[in-house]
Amino acid sequence: MKHVPVFFLLTVFFGIFAVPVFSEELIPFTIIHTNDEHSSLVPSLYVDYKPGEQDPTVGGFARLSGFVNEIRSEKDEPILLFSAGDFLGGAPFAWLALEGMSPELSIMQKIGYDAAVIGNHEYDYGPEQLASYLRDAGYPKAHKHTALLASNTHPPPGHALEEIQFKDRIIIELDNGLHVGVFGLIGKDAVQVAPFSDPVSFSDQKEAAQEQVSYLKEEGAEVIILLSHSGVEEEKVIARHVPEIHLIIGGHCHTLLEDPVLEGDTVIVQAGSLLAYAGLLELSYSRKRDSLIIQNQVNDTPFVKKLDSSVPLDPDIHKEVEGYTHSLNSLIKDMTDSRFTDISEPVLRTEFTLPHRPRLQETPFGNFVTDAMRIMGERVTGEPVDAAFQANGLLRGSIIPGETGTISLYDMLSLVGLGSGPDGRAGYPLVSFYLTGSDVLKVLEISALLSEILGDSYFLQASGIRKTYDPNRAVLFTVPYLDLPLPTGRAVLHAELFTGSGIQTEHDEAYTPLERNDETLYHIISDYYLIPFLPMVGDLVSSLAVTLRDENGEPVESPENTIIYTSDREYKVWESVVEYAASLPVKEGTYPQVPSEYEKYPVRQTQQQTLPLLLYPLGIILITEILTQIIPS
């Protein structure tokens, strides 16, 4: 397939030429795209949302539909609407999937999405529940409305997902005669962070892309589009490997690309997350040169549209969302025994933001959540808790106060409401187990190692722990050609356990050192999502093998045996966080107030740069050589 030269794409992209260099017929069409919607049916911050009025909120399906309707009414050309995956998971509307409802896909079908790719969060409740969700949304018949693409996804024979009949690829014939071929991939990193996708398997992304492009070309596709839930860096690799792809609409890394990325002749776009923005591509296709031409810059059209209160609500979709909001309120009332009844109600007041950034470091929100897990875990189990851990990948944002200084139940739950437990109810349950002091140190080493190798999602926030560490010491070096990192187990320079109660403070008298040979049993709280990752590391690196134990020091036989229960049901991470928030002191007779201790960081996990471990042997050799010169033989 011949492509337009890169210099020509760039000149059109930056508006140097308002018309093509060659006299030829150009076939126009427009693409609207979103990604990582994460069940965000309503705008955020929800505490500030005033439907139909001017407010500071962004997002929501009713606004998206209003924007799509505007574009459709303005343009006399074909318009395509795509999602790059993770339409499920995150906001608590996802919980309705466990109650036989499918709000996200049902609304997306009504808005008129042509296709979506299956992302990693679609597996949050497991493949069987995903199949049930998709059946509730009308699949496999609904593929004719909104095709679900999963070109490198392979359910085992006879599995419920096999009956959904995911599409490898589709060809859309536009009204102007253009044939647009579309396929979808889930990326390597996305697969790694989908631990509950088993027994579904995933084939190599580059090989699948090459195969699907070949099929699409044979079947008459002219423009080839990849819906990719992989992240920009992986999408660049695919573009280099399969240059016949004209356009990659990406997701997974939540990147807002205000201008497309060009990788060779392939255009890569992404529109952030949570429906805060919609991507907009004005395009033309030249059959003569088999090339895709971007017209946004020529037409003075931004590549992304912020979905704020200036965008009119689609009244029909708004009504649909209101219906699902009523259902969610009823569910939360039931799940909390009427302690909470309305997702719009404020549950917390704060005079400052509790960010979940910077990446790969302790954060105020991480401290808040892990304190909640430790303190509420102690109340529920009735046993003192020494430490709590939570992974960054499960913290979905920051505590940001609304205009009145409050945060709503919906906004709070959206930050910590992922997953479900074996009980099939929303939210990962808290787990309780015991570790030796030696194994606690190994967990800290695992956090340093995995976050260094695999990224921020694997960094562990902690409560009850204070440590000094050098992340650059986590890996000694990477074996060339094999791309195999050799861990040191020596990234943690010093670690202590907090011996006080309540919010972890920085007072020195409240800490006791942790030693590498410490066989004392310590009570640990974490969540069900993290349990599979600890043994996994031990299987790969025997020196970091961790044994989960019960209060008697005996190895735990099954992860299910670690789950915390209250009133005969699983006690969820989100419950611990909202109940901890509700337990905080009330200021000025309004709502519980975030204590000022959460404003300062880092105080629990401090980075310290040291000499690389590889230099130590060289230093010993150098010192030995010097000593031999100055000490008489």
| pLDDT single digits (tens) 544-561 | 889 999 999 999 989 899
- Give me the CATH code for the 32-318 domain, please: 3.60.21.10
3.90.780.10, 1.20.1250.20, 1.20.1050.10, 3.40.605.10: CATH of 345-615: 3.90.780.10
pTM of the full structure: 0.89
pLDDT at position 611 is 76
Indicate left, alpha or beta for 36 from its phi (over 0: left) and psi (-120 to 50: alpha): left
- 28 token code pair: 């126009």
The torsion angle over the Cα atoms of residues 468, 471, 474 and 476, rounded to 10 degrees, is -120
Beta bridge mates, 123: none
pLDDT digits 0-9 by tens, 616-627 = 454 444 444 555
Residue 23: what pLDDT?
Answer: 57
Contact predicate 281/33, CB 8 Å: yes
509-542 confidence digits (pLDDT tens): 899 999 999 999 999 999 998 887 777 777 777 8
State yes or no: pLDDT of 193 exceeds 50.
Answer: yes
pLDDT score for 16: 28
Using the predicted structure, report yes or no on whether residue 278 has a pLDDT greater than 50: yes
**pLDDT class of 49 with cuts at 50, 70, 90:** very high
- Determine the straight-line distance between the first and last CA of the chain, rounded to whole angstroms: 76
Domain borders along the chain are: 32-318, 345-615
Does the pLDDT at position 196 exceed 60?
Answer: yes
pLDDT value of residue 613: 63
- Residue 608: what pLDDT? 92
Average pLDDT on 493-499 reads 95
Q: Which pLDDT score, from 0 to 100, does residue 489 have?
A: 86
Q: What per-residue confidence (pLDDT) applies to 52?
A: 87
Give residue 466's pLDDT. 96
Q: Report the percentage of the chain scoring pLDDT > 90.
A: 81
Mean pLDDT of 445-459: 89
Cβ atoms within 10 Å, residue 7: 8
Task: Residue 92: count other Cβ atoms within 10 Å of its Cβ.
Answer: 23
